[in-house]
Structure 1
Amino acid sequence: MALRREPTARQLRLATELRRLRDAAGLAAREAAALLGVSPVQISHIESALAGVSEERLRRLAANYSCSNVELIDALVSMASERARGWWEDYRGLLPAAYLDLAELEHHAKFRKDVAVIHVPGLFQTEDYARALFAYMNPEFPDSEVEHRVSHRMRRKIVIECPDPIPYDTVIHEAALRIKVAGRAATRAQLTRILEMSDADHVTVRVIPFALDDFAGAGSTMVHLGGPVPRLDTVVRDAPHGTALLDSEAQLEHFRKLFHRVSERSLAPDQSRDLIHELIKEL
């Protein structure tokens, strides 16, 4: 079977988890290969996501690694068995791989939690807001490039707008609500959109007001996507070099606690809606 040229983030995560299991078992790659009856090169290819792994081999590896976490093993088997192409594949070759990876991670997520400080969260953005944002950030892009990004962002909303949406809990700083990314009328429409979504049973919106004292969490911007088991959660953060996907146990625990702290300091959902209503009146 031909090796993959560009593994997706989800394929890389599966490979990473298999390597972590082997490391936890204290086995070298050659030892794992011998137990499985394959060459060390095959283990290397599996652990770098250049090659897939069958359910039978994955379960044998987990047994060889003395992993007794049945829920984790079943989740990894599900990841390894995926064959269907998602809607995001329509954008392969049109957008950077990171855009596709995020959409795929959201598609499989059990929940999403955000902290947004400067911009409205992507899943809430209107077309006008997203278009103004992409056009400003990439002034050299032709209109077609901007429209691909806008279209992709609008399609990502399916995870919270479909008949079986994921729970979505977001904390938004007042700064993100006040900045007129796309002008006064578009800002009003954007705030109205957030209010409409906040009424949904699966959506919780909290606002961090400017008036909050002793808030040092402005650098807490993040997206936390829930996996089938907590170990398979992923935190997404924007970084100077691009999007960073964080998934070590220490990193995940840090951002769980960080979200909890920021969420605790923010306004309650009803108070948050009241503040957004006031902002709309000001426009």
Structure 2
Amino acid sequence: MEDLTKGMRFNKIPWEAHRINALHQGLLPQDYKLDKLDERYIMYYPEEVSCKNIRGVSCFVPLDTPHNVPAQSHEKLSCFFLSGNTQLPSELIFIYTHKMVLRFPSNRRQNALHFLIAPTRRMTREDYEQAVKNLNWNVCEMKAFAESNKLVNFDEDLDNVEDFRMVELYWLMEYFYENKANLYMDRLHMIDVTTWIAQTKPKFDDLLNQEFRSYIVFNILLRMDSHTQSDVTTQTYIWDILGELNDVFKWNESNFLDDYLPDTTPRA
């Protein structure tokens, strides 16, 4: 695992790869990008395409056992996994993006590797979603339901975080996690972002240098802002960060909002 580099591709799943609600959750806006020339289809990534700006379905490889999933009280939550050495069909590829460090209640920490399952040939959004669901997903029994109605944080998390935009981002992730977030992969990414800020004390430029984390942040903030009512201060923080990200990456807001799909997870 030490030899992993961003954008590394695999035709076989190298290690047991997990996804929360893999068989119940439809595609999220961050999971694909529509082809601007023909929006009946999504963008795809053959071998010759660089790893920059690739979109795909999020998966993680837990480095600790049992691994935690961010459940809330009385939720029925399923985690699924693909076994190591699972052969992917030719239309899908497994791509490494970054290492995650996640904090859960009772001082439980989870290290994980984040990957995308991305399309390699032209297909519709519906075909892509079905291709992912058709993989040989197994029910994961090696998980702990870490009840996390509140994000794990500590008084010293923001000590020595000198860039106020990163303080804003930490506060926003905390606020939305505790008040608005109802998608499990959103929660997992929020835990990743706040833990990353607390442990590495990054500047905003460090976020900009991590395109996938930036993309996840942009998607979450834009969607939360569109679907919830927030106070003026929260709105100001949201658009401060969204504006910075949009200036650098030129992402199209409509890609995130027009095709928003709600969480279809069965509730207990």
With normalisation by structure 2, the TM-score equals 0.30
Higher-RCO chain (CA-CA 8 Å, sequence separation at least 6): 2
The structure with the greater share of residues assigned to strand is: 2
Q: Which is greater in Rg?
A: 1
